[in-house]
Amino acid sequence: SSIIRGGLEICRCISEEKTSVLVHCSDGWDRTSQLTSLSMLLLDPYYRTLNGFTVLVDKEWCAFGHMFSKRNAGSAGPKQSSPIFLQWIDAVWQIFRQIPAAFEFNNSFLEIVAERAYCPYTYS
């Protein structure tokens, strides 16, 4: 996917070329979080732990201001809805499928994260 290719390019610049990378996509909300969080997950094994993954989602998605309710076809309507977070979860899952031993969690955990993002009021 283009998300994985973008994340890999960021990783290449940082790890091989030893350069800093500025990531800012057109609106600054959606693709930016996808790319930064995926590259961090690839570069730092801490983010592939349960605690690290939680920190990553909190830092790069929640604290960054991702508009979950608008993107998840909430009250904003279909014009602003887009499965941005779910696309990122899918990219993480694709990487997990290739190297599961590198992760402390499994696909069931990713399913729970996706369900909570799209149905936040179904859990206590």
The 10s digit of each residue's pLDDT in 61-93 is 777 666 666 666 655 555 665 678 889 999 999
Global model pTM greater than 0.85: no
d(CA 46, CA 70): 30
The one catalytic residue in 11, 13, 25, 119 is 25
**In whole numbers, what is the pLDDT of the chain averaged over residues?**
85
Is 11 tagged catalytic?
no
36 and 92 Cβ atoms separated by less than 8 Å:
no
25 and 31 Cβ atoms separated by less than 8 Å:
yes
